[in-house]
Structure 1
Amino acid sequence: MSKKIGLIIGSTRPSRISPSIAKWLQARVTQPDLPVDLLDLATIDLPFLKDPAMPADHQYTLDSTKRWSEQVQGYDAFILLFPQYNWGYPAPLKNALDTLYQEWQGKPVSLVSYGNHGGFQAALGMQLVVRGLKMPLLTNNLQISLEKSWFDDQGQFTDVDLALTPYAAEARQLGAELRRRLI
């Protein structure tokens, strides 16, 4: 049975750039025998912690939680892609993680943050969260520092490939590390 990576797009803002970064990253991390699927929290649309039981009890009553649990169980490792918001990570990403518990345990994870200074503070905070979920943190974790010159008047990349070229080697190393861990 082949192994699969889930790349979770952790921002749901309408003006987000994370889908562009996610597609760029997916193309560089994917290996011939190790596919990377994009999991967009904007379309998964989980309610904020509405299931009455603690996630650790695995007593899900909501269909949305049951679907999310099944989806997460289908992956062997994860890449969390998220921007830094006021030195933190986006609430929808934290909610997606907190909605479940057992499903995350033991699955390797890489943190890919971005912001004006690479999203360093958000990545620090997220390290605590994944540690609490008992997810082993990979050694390759990208921090993408954004530059205003990369964006058009709507705040979108003018050329994502050109902008992210300095991070291409790290992204390929992440793919190689995932392959070593899983295959």
Structure 2
Amino acid sequence: MSYRILVFYGSYRSDRMGIRLADFLVSRLRERGAEVELIDAKAVDLPMLDRMYKEYPRGQAPDALERLAGQIRDADGFVFVTGEYNWGIQPGLKNLTDHFLEEWFWRPAAIASYSAGRFSGARAATAWHGILSEMGMVVISSTIAVGQISGALTAEGAPVGPGGKALTDAYPRFVDDLLWWIEAAKAQRQRKPPPY
């Protein structure tokens, strides 16, 4: 069975390294048979949050919001690829997610973090766990964390060196966990409507 998974990436920087991890995950998820789409916050380029999608009268939301709301509603699960800025989360990715709420409900999410340094974006991943849970997603316990990303993945997203090996070793548990929860959540939504 094929599942629809959205991979979200949030850096707006001109020399973005995390896109390597996003590309790696898209490629590997497709190898597992998933229908995957990369949602790049910079490419979507939503304005700073003024009105959430749900606050627009039906049919009057900007096209980018309407399109993305449909993609989120149609997805079976999500992967959030996040860098760490000054011990915190990337503002571009947070701004994108905050435009929506009910669209996220009752689906699993996974977090993959990265950084240029050795801490691998772990503090941002920890922050995202609570944010995504508050937004109605079930956040899986398995995570991926890539430190010194420029030496762990090539520009094309291919693993290299010890960091790439660590990523390759961590990936099977991460994807198995995510797909298990996607299958469970999808079966439950088909069996019984969500309570709200």
> Aligning the two structures, in what range does the TM-score lie when normalised by the shorter sequence?
0.7 to 0.9
Q: Does the 8 Å contact 2:53/2:69 carry over to 1?
A: no
Work out the CA distance in 2 between the residues paired with 1:177 and 1:66.
Answer: 30
Q: Does the 8 Å contact 2:2/2:33 carry over to 1?
A: yes
Q: Equivalent residue of 1:137, what SS?
A: strand
Instruction: State yes or no: 1:42 paired with 2:42.
Output: yes
Q: Kindly state the Cα deviation for residue 147 of structure 1 after the two structures are TM-superposed.
A: 6.2
Work out the CA distance in 2 between the residues paired with 1:58 and 1:101.
Answer: 13
Q: Does the 8 Å contact 2:112/2:145 carry over to 1?
A: yes
Q: Does the 8 Å contact 2:18/2:149 carry over to 1?
A: no
Structure 2 residues not aligned, in runs of 5+: 184-196
Q: Kindly state the Cα deviation for residue 47 of structure 1 after the two structures are TM-superposed.
A: 1.1
Instruction: State yes or no: 1:127 paired with 2:125.
Output: no
Work out the CA distance in 1 between the residues paired with 2:114 and 2:149.
Answer: 11
**Letter aligned with residue 88 of structure 1:** G
TM-score w.r.t. the length of structure 2 is 0.79
Work out the CA distance in 2 between the residues paired with 1:24 and 1:62.
Answer: 31
Instruction: Indicate the residue corresponding to 2:112 in structure 1.
Output: 112
Of residues 152, 159, 162, the one that matches 2:160 is 162
Q: Does the 8 Å contact 2:23/2:157 carry over to 1?
A: no
Instruction: Classify 1:6/1:71 alpha carbon distance in 2 versus 1 (closer, same or farther; 3 Å).
Output: same
Instruction: Indicate the residue corresponding to 2:177 in structure 1.
Output: 177
TM-score w.r.t. the length of structure 1 is 0.84
Instruction: Indicate the residue corresponding to 2:96 in structure 1.
Output: 96
Runs (4+) of structure 1 exceeding 4 A deviation are 54-60, 156-160
Q: Kindly state the Cα deviation for residue 169 of structure 1 after the two structures are TM-superposed.
A: 2.3
More divergent stretch after superposition (165-174 vs 75-84):
165-174
**Letter aligned with residue 36 of structure 2:** V
Size of the alignment, in residue pairs? 176
Instruction: State yes or no: 1:79 paired with 2:79.
Output: yes
> Per-residue CA shift, 1:96-137, capped at 9, x if unaligned?
110000011111011111112111111121112111102101
> Per-residue CA shift, 1:35-56, capped at 9, x if unaligned?
22211111111111132xx556
Q: Identity, % of aligned pairs?
A: 23
1:5-44 alignment to 2 at 5 Å? 5-44=5-44
Q: Kindly state the Cα deviation for residue 23 of structure 1 after the two structures are TM-superposed.
A: 1.4
Of residues 143, 146, 159, the one that matches 1:144 is 146
More divergent stretch after superposition (97-106 vs 16-25):
16-25
Structure 1 residues not aligned, in runs of 5+: none
More divergent stretch after superposition (139-148 vs 123-132):
139-148
Work out the CA distance in 2 between the residues paired with 1:72 and 1:90.
Answer: 20
Instruction: Classify 1:99/1:32 alpha carbon distance in 2 versus 1 (closer, same or farther; 3 Å).
Output: same
The Cα RMSD (Å) is 2.5
Q: Kindly state the Cα deviation for residue 63 of structure 1 after the two structures are TM-superposed.
A: 2.6
Q: Does the 8 Å contact 1:77/1:109 carry over to 2?
A: yes
Q: Equivalent residue of 2:78, what SS?
A: strand
Work out the CA distance in 2 between the residues paired with 1:36 and 1:169.
Answer: 21
